[in-house]
Amino acid sequence: METFCSYDGTERFWDANLTWYTENPDFTKCFQNTFLVWIPCIYLWLCFPIYFIYLQRNNQGYIRMSHLNKAKTALGFLLWLVCWADLFYSFWERSQSIYRAPVFVVSPTVLGITMLLATFIIQYERIKGVQSSGVMLNFWFIALLCAIIIFRSKVIHALKQGASVDVFRDVTFYIYFLLVLVELILAAFSDQPPLFSERVNDPNPCPESSASFLSKITFWWISRMMVEGYKRPLENKDLWSLNKDDTSVEVVPVLAKNWEKEYLKAKKQPFKMTYSPKKADKQSEPNDEIREEAEALIVKTPAKDVQPSLFKALYKTFGPYFFMSSFFKIIHDILMFSGPEILKLLIKFVRDKNAPDWQGYLYTGLLFFCACLQTLILHKYFHICFVTGLRLKTAIIGVVYRKALVISNSARRTSTIGEIVNLMSVDAQRFMDLATYINMIWSAPLQVVLALYLLWENLGPSVLAGVAVMILLVPVNAVIAMKTKKYQVVQMKCKDNRIKLMNEILNGIKVLKLYAWELAFKEKVLGIRQEELKVLKKSAYLSAVGTFTWVCAPFLVALSTFSVYVLIDPSNVLDAEKAFVSLALFNILRFPLNMLPMVISSMVQASVSLKRLRVFLSHEELEPDSIIREPQKNGHGCIDMRNATFSWSKSDPPSLKEINLTIPEGSLVAVVGQVGCGKSSLLSALLGEMEKKDGFVAMKGGVAYVPQQAWIQNASLKDNILFGRERKEPVYKKVLEACALLPDLEILPSGDRTEIGEKGVNLSGGQKQRVSLARAVYCNADVYLLDDPLSAVDAHVGKHIFEKVIGPKGLLKDKTRILVTHGVSYLPHVDSIIVMVDGKITEVGSYQELLEQDGAFAEFLRTYANAEQNNTQEVPSPTEEKHMENGMLINEKGETLQRQLSVSSDTKSTQQNSTADLQKSGAEKEDWKLTEADKAKTGRVKSAVFWEYMKATGLLLSFLSVILFLCNHVSSLASNYWLSLWTDDEVVNGTQRNTKMRLSVYGALGMSQGIAVFGYSTTVSLGGVLASRYLHMDLLHNVLRFPMSFFERTPSGNLVNRFSKEMDTIDSTIPQIIKMFMGSLFNVIGACIIILIATPIVAVIIPPLGLLYFFVQRFYVATSRQLKRLESVSRSPVYSHFNETLLGASVIRAFGEQKQFIHVSDSRVDENQRAYYPSIVSNRWLAIRLEFVGNCIVLFASLFAVISRHTLSPGLVGLSVSYALQVTAYLNWLVRMSSELETNIVAVERVKEYADLEQEAPWTLQETKPESRWPHEGKIEFHNYCLRYREDLDLALKNINATVQGGEKVGIVGRTGAGKSSLTLGLFRINEAASGEIVIDGCNIAKIGLHDLRFKLTIIPQDPVLFSGSLRMNLDPFEKYTDDEIWSALELAHLKNFVSGLPDKLNHECAEGGENLSIGQRQLVCLARALLRKTKILVLDEATAAVDLETDGLIQSTIRKEFEDCTVITIAHRLNTIMDYTRVMVLDRGQIVEFNSPSNLLQKKGCFYNMAKDSGLV
């Protein structure tokens, strides 16, 4: 090296006296010319190949030449020229016979070529669209650092007396130095975005991609949003668009594809040898499975079950990007140990009084630099992890959603809606959380090994004592983790059940209120909750033990190590260097050791989630091929079924047996039969919703489907009808008119732009059905499957729809139509009739043929159709035809009879507009919103919320835990201070005195610390359980006490959210966060106190740093909290859309609209992630700024220690710097925890927000409680009774005056929306009277408790609602009746045969919403409920709409017989059911028009007569 540097070999490469042992250090010339020049070159040449490949793969598009780029390139060339000027100067010297060392040729050559490379990279980056380059910035930075050292040396040399100066080389060097400095400054700026990038047309692009490198690593680019968020609460419009790589469109298909591959691989596995290659192409045809099974048996391959690996699919999708994070993690882990090593040097420096001062400053600078570098790298690492987590969640939600659309019915039964929603929310979240930890699996062992190595260097074999303690603690932690997992599974199960029950309660709240069953269900929920709390309590004790081991582990390790160290050999002296460096290392060790069990439990949780997801994603799918769908061609039939047998799942007995059926194109076919004979199943089979066991089914052309229970989206009425197709005005108008929707539009607050609530709450049953029909008609398919669409509408509307839409003259006259119906009057008009009995087709033929055959059908008709028959066959006369215009009846005088919006028993949120309002055109009315979205609260979380939580835990417990926290931290500080005193004991003859006394006090302080930890941990956890118990009871009680109007306004998603997400937060998250928050708060305070004791001068620095910290914190919390709120608000639509999709999956599939729904779901997920992404970044922004504050504390603690080193003992320096090193981590935790606490305590706020809303009247009032026999005769009087649905609406009922005598049978009729249902709602006080009163048997019902009233009335509601649970529970939740009574009620309700045929009889489990009973059967169950209660007053609301005529007759006769001496009030659409009633009340527009016996009314020829004529009864 020496000869390389100088011609004669006199120049030395390294001289320690010149560089280290001196007050004024410098490097040798040789070192400067070689090493310092080559470092930047080596760096760039090493980076180049990797970077080049990276740029080739990631092409962002091309950037135009800008001034910035031109400047960078020009300077690069100049630098190359400057370097080679030196080279040519050397050659020129040669020619002058001045011989220089080889270094003067080699170094400029290398440097010159490197500068050319740099210039090339600058241009190549521009072509590949890199706006700001980290590689180049680092290169210029390293080059400048090296140049500064040479620069200083040259200046010092030039200032020496009589020094020889090489003028040319010095001048070129100064120019080089200046150019590098300018290049560095230019490299810090970012270039313009590439041409044609998506960012250009994005209204609000994310600033990240165009930020400069420095801005990216310090997350400076988000500062603008932080400032905005501090000034005013952020709103949705302030959020940036997602980066393209994070959107659903990019992420989900990749995972879906990878999972598909894995799935097929696993499917093929067991049958390897049976597969000939030809067949392998057909992998994914599910109906091959049975054949494969058979083959596998023949060859006797070991058909072991190979599960497709979801993990592999995830790994393939996200692995590559995620591995970048591992690279950063390794660097960070190594840097972590720089702290203790530099601390060691620093303590040595303080002890050695002769060392030159600059060494101390060097150590301080190094400590600060390493800490800052560590910060930047760590947060880059976290950022990658979090973004991976975000993509994971997006992908999982997307995949689950897509799967839910194709999952078969049998699989749907195994996963309830609640469970599937949990997959999306809870399990996806688990993966998101795991992504940030998973690297700890290898990183933690690495950190442990490094730490142990350094400890061994420091203390020798006595480290093993500490290691032994750690190893002993591992199984303890493992046991805790296992137990926790077990409890978690139990808790999840309880939670699933509770949410499922809550879901049903909220869906059927109407029925609960009408039957006054709230208390029974409240008890059921609290029963489940009790189990859940038991588990929570156990987990609380466990977590206390966990925290105890967690906090005490480092101390026990230190104690055991130090005691072994000082006791095995008296000459082992515990000095400051050994003690505090070891302590710092133990502190580092503490993190991986605590993290490992956490990561493992997190992985265990994620593996549970992984399994749940895998099971769900492997569910069998519907087989699209079971029905051969051909495009419309001329064939002999449009629908062809031969020997087809269908069941609902593979294991079920067939529901449809040997169906043979050919339906010619364009014909209208009616399907009739008893309740539960398989009419709806026939349609489902045609849609491919059932398992085909056998036979052949073909269907030509597109399908439209109208289900029996209309499925309505939460969107505008228009969107419900268009269903994703473009709007063609004339067609749309025609459809509205044909479906009799025009009059409804006039009444809806903003015409067809009115928003319809979840499940269509603000439409009556009839309107829902008509909207559902309109959707089908608008889509213009070839085949129409209509499942009893006419049952829910009034007779005259039904007639209108049949004429205009379904019948031989309707809009659909050229289409193939299959109509399931109970209405006899339509049968003569159809082409053929299919009669079904018990899943078989018994007769097929036209109306006349079937009558002539004189089979079951003729029998059925004779009984029912005598009255109806005579008229319906006549075609209405033209004069009559004229009265119907736009589905509105027009009187002779031409006044419009306004059909008001029916407020079915389903709703009251409809606005009843005055006629004046209706004159306004629809366009003028603004779009009317019904449901209230979850609102985001703004501003700080009020201290009142914390106070609420403390009250919920109990004030005594709260204060006790604070005191225990204090004890713990005081003893912890004391023990470390004691250690520093111990290390400063002077050493006599190589030993320290009082070792035993020092050791025992140290131990005692540690023990007291442990006891305090256990105490506070237990109190906080138990307090948490108490609080969550109290809050849940409160919430449940309040929700059940809300009036019906509340449930219509509030989407059920919001309420379920309160019971699942928010309750879960209160159960398990808040207590943990409180513990960590208090812990880190006291830690920070303790550290500051220690540093102040050691170097009081720090007092000058701490206040400004504290202020800075406080500002950053406030900035951050304001933004972060709001982002968190926006995120949770945008989460609700994801789930509510998902819920909606699951409910309407069959409709979506029938219409083939899956793509559109997937698109909506994706965009909602992206909308949610748009709020989540900035909140991740803001976390990083904050952490970097805070750690900078922490690093400043380290800087000043060590700086002042160096300055006052002559007055400080090494022990104190060690103590203060080792505490300062920890401050960074604590500060970070503190802000994280304080903001976590604020964001999570919002859960308490949201749960409590339902405590202050208005409640319905009290359930029981002791003072006015009526006697137990009341009502004894059942006389009902209305006195000037008025009712309105909401304060701002018109009256729905106006001045009703009527008296119903006890035992009378009264029918209520009227057009849709005349106020029929309103009357019953008033009777049950679902809505309170606006004025006037209702008196039953002399008792004003407004004066008594709601339950006292509702228990004495019985209603059979329009929509039969069942709850999941046994049949018995559905009939008698309070268990008041004996089995015999229940059986007799079932017998009267004509259900006895059905129920006794079930395997479990009365304990037959009803599915969610009663889905395993047909709608007719559900209706009969409701009848059985009524028969059981047997009250004096019975209200029937359209109770027989969904039943066939025969059953209807049975029900009517049962009611006549059983309720003979009771008052019966019936709201009827089918007038024939009330012809034999004592009196009929005709309502119109909320007023009584006629009230008399049916025969009198018919003679009067008024409204009733007209209606009867419409129904063909006159």
> At 1464, is the secondary structure helix, strand, or coil?
strand
Give 1346-1386 as a DSSP string: HHHHHTTEEEE-SS----SEEHHHHH-TT--S-HHHHHHHH
Backbone angles phi, psi at 1101, to 5 degrees: -85, -35
Residues 817 and 671: beta-carbon distance below 8 Å: no
Three-state DSSP class for residue 642: strand
The H or E element containing residue 199 is none
B/e letters for 1064-1077, b = 16+ CB within 10 Å, e = fewer, are bbbbbbbbbbbbbb
User: Which distant-in-sequence residues (6+ apart) come within 8 Å of 460 by Cβ?
Assistant: 565
Strands 840-845 and 832-837: antiparallel
pLDDT computed for residue 632 by the predictor: 56
How would you class 1097 by CB atoms within 10 Å of its CB: exposed for 0-12, middle for 13-18, buried for 19 or more? middle
pLDDT value of residue 305: 63
pTM: 0.74
What is the structure's pLDDT at 1258? Answer: 82
496-548 pLDDT, tens per residue?
888 888 888 888 888 888 888 888 888 888 998 898 889 888 888 888 888 88
pLDDT given for residue 319 in this prediction: 83
In the block, tokens 């029909």 appear at 773
What is the structure's pLDDT at 199? 58
DSSP 1407-1427: -GGGTTS-HHHHHHHHHHHHH
pLDDT value for 631: 64
Strand partners, 1437: 1467
| Residue 36 DSSP one-character state | I
Give the count of beta carbons closer than 10 Å to the beta carbon of residue 138. 17
What digits encode the pLDDT tens for the residues 181-192?
999 999 998 888
> Could you tell me which of 937, 1408, 1418, 1414 has the C-alpha nearest to residue 1139?
1408
**What 3-state DSSP class applies to 991?**
strand
What are the tokens at 647? 């069941």
- Nearest 5°: the CA angle 767, 768, 769 is 90
**Cβ-Cβ contacts under 8 Å for 1182 (sequence gap 6 or more):** 1112, 1113, 1116, 1120, 1231, 1235
Cis ω before 1271 (30° cut-off from 0): yes
Containing 1482, the helix (H) or strand (E) segment is strand 1479-1484
- pLDDT at position 1507 is 81
Q: Which residues, at least 6 apart from 874, have a Cβ–Cβ distance to it below 8 Å?
A: none
Contacts of 662 (CB under 8 A, 6+ apart): 636, 637, 639, 640, 641
For residue 1133, what are the contacts with CB-CB under 8 A and spacing of at least 6? 933, 1053, 1164, 1167, 1168
Q: What is the pLDDT of residue 896?
A: 31
Chain-centre distance for alpha carbon 1051? 16
- Give me the pLDDT at residue 292, please: 44
Rg for the chain, CA atoms, rounded: 41
Sort strands 840-845 and 1339-1340 into parallel, antiparallel or unpaired: unpaired
DSSP-derived 3-state class of residue 120 = helix
CB 1421 within 8 A of CB 1357: no
Q: Residue 1093's pLDDT is what?
A: 83
Where the chain has pLDDT below 50, the residues are 271-303, 866-928
Tokens of 1033: 């009871």
End-to-end CA distance of the chain: 121
Q: Which helix (H) or strand (E) holds 840?
A: strand 840-845
- Quick one: pLDDT at residue 1441? 59
Burial class of residue 1133 (count of CB atoms within 10 Å of its CB; 0-12, 13-18, 19+): buried
State residue 637's pLDDT score: 67
Give ∠ CA 484-485-486 in degrees, rounded to 5. Answer: 90
Q: What Å distances lie between residue 854 and 839, 860, 861, CA to CA?
A: 21, 10, 10
